[in-house]
Amino acid sequence: MSLPSIVPTCQSEPTDYYRCPVDPSASLGRMIWSRRRSTVVSVREVAINGFTVIAPAECERVLGSMNLAVLEFQDAFFEVKTEQVSHLDGGKLWVMLELVRDVTKPSRIRCRHSFLRRSLTRFESIAAVPLFAILLITCLVMLALPGLGDVLGTANLIESVLSWMRKSFDQWVGSPF
């Protein structure tokens, strides 16, 4: 007893190429030719590499001469070019469009309190050096105070450093260079 051989039913289509039909209630799209010219179309099928649309017969001349157009479909924008055009009954065109690229602008991510965060980081970067300098000077002044400086033994040291700096400055100002 031998097993029956399995033969694919359709040899003409590649196995990795699938077209998905679009529900007629959600098939409304728009082909944008230029800034001022556009045409309403009905998207019938969607594939990974393109679309199939039904367009009015008046678009045949534009479809034949166009290099690229933009298809607006379900709030997304796709740059497409014409692959194949066929005539249907009733003055309509069956157009296969090849997808060139997706040109939909990404939606902005809104962050609450982003102004406050941006202001704080700008403030932190601007104010870091002056705040550090004020903190350092405050510590040195506290160590030089007669009460705290005498207890810690730093008052005499800071006084000698300040007198050395004054003498060095006087020599520098008085030098001929």
Secondary structure in 3-state letters for the chain: CCCCCCCCCCCCCCCCCCEEECCHHHCEEEEECCCCCEEEEEEEEEECCEEEEEEEHHHHHHHHHCCCEEEEECCEEEEEEEEEEEEECCCEEEEEEEEEEECCCCCCCCCCCHHHHHHHHHHHHHHHHHHHHHHHHHHHHHHHCHHHHHHHCCHHHHHHHHHHHHHHHHHHHHCCC
CATH class of 19-102: mainly beta
Domain range annotation of the chain: 19-102, 114-171
Tens place of pLDDT per residue across the chain (177 aa):
443 433 344 444 455 567 888 888 888 999 988 888 888 999 999 998 899 999 998 888 888 777 888 999 998 999 999 888 888 888 899 999 999 999 988 887 766 665 555 655 665 667 777 888 898 888 888 888 878 888 888 888 888 888 898 898 888 887 765
Task: Report if pTM > 0.75.
Answer: no
